[in-house]
Amino acid sequence: MGQKVNPVGFRIGVNKGWKSVAYIDKADYANRLKEDLAIRNYIEKNLSSAGVVATKTKRFMSKMLVEISVARPGVVIGRGGSGIEKVKKDLARIAKTKIEVKLFEVKDPEASAKLIGESIASQVTRRIVPKFAAQREIEKAKGVKGVKGVRIWVSGRIKGAEIARTEKFQWGSVPLQTLRADIDYAYVRAQVPNAGIHGIKVWIYKGEKQFV
């Protein structure tokens, strides 16, 4: 069961929080949800070079707060702050309200499941064998303090094979059934030339953690 349930959603209220917080009228819910998804899509598409790890939104009566965790905040800020100002204007146009943006720098990008997945996706797109790409990322993650286990699955027509298969790589323990376990999880898709779409799943175990 632990491999079929999203590890983040499984732990909401235990050691994970919601990615979006708002008090919305039922009649307006669909529109606000579309805006929230549009904001996330904009950030993923336009700030990908900054290494986006997470986006959280908080909607208030007169404004919206967008918290973005990135590996390279300087890329978002831009020269003289021009980059972040453009982001604010674009997001305000999408959300139709005043936008406040807060940037957070990710201390250990080597231990981010999302960035690991994106790195592997980039490598397999360049025809690097998934085994080498996964092992390279595992070695980087092993050197980060607090990381106790890494699991990576790469699925698809690996090496252009006619029949799709899943290659699995793991170091350390990844206790998916333990709710106290702090599991960072990400799923990334890669379009590989002449080999179709590859699905990449990454689990990072960072010890036990529980909300007080």
Q: In this predicted model, what pLDDT tens digit does every residue of 39-74 receive, in sequence order?
A: 999 999 999 999 999 999 999 888 999 999 999 999
Does residue 92 sit in the same domain as residue 153?
no
Q: Which of 75, 105, 135 is the last residue of a domain?
A: 105
4 within some domain:
no
Per-residue pLDDT of 137-150, as tens digits, reads 999 999 999 999 99
User: Could you tell me if 121 and 202 lie in one domain?
Assistant: yes
28, pLDDT greater than 80: yes
Give the CATH number, domain containing residue 121: 3.30.1140.32
With respect to residue 163, please indicate whether it lies within any of the assigned structural domains: yes
pTM: 0.90
Domain count, the chain: 2
Instruction: Note the Cα 163 to chain centre separation in Å.
Output: 29
The answer on 175 and 128 residing in a single domain is: yes
- The model's confidence at residue 212, banded by pLDDT at 50, 70 and 90, is very low
Contact 149, 205 (CB under 8 A): yes
Give the pLDDT confidence of 142-172 residue by residue, as tens digits.
Answer: 999 999 999 999 999 999 999 999 999 999 9
Residue that terminates a domain, selected from 48, 80, 105: 105
Regarding whether 53 and 79 lie in a shared domain, the answer is yes
Structure tokens at 207: 């010890």
Rounded-to-integer distance, Cα 179 and Cα 7, Å: 9
Last residue of a domain, one of 105, 131, 160: 105
**For the chain, what is the mean pLDDT?**
93
Q: Lay out the sheet containing 52-59: strands in order across.
A: 20-21, 52-59, 63-70, 98-105
Q: Which residues contact 96 (CB under 8 A, 6 or more apart)?
A: 35
pLDDT number for residue 114: 97
Domain hosting 100: range is 17-105
pLDDT at 190 over 90: yes
Burial of 91-104, coded b for 16+ CB within 10 Å and e otherwise, reads bbebbeeebebebe
Provide the pLDDT for residue 3.
59
Rounded to whole angstroms, the Cα distance separating 164 from 128 reads: 17
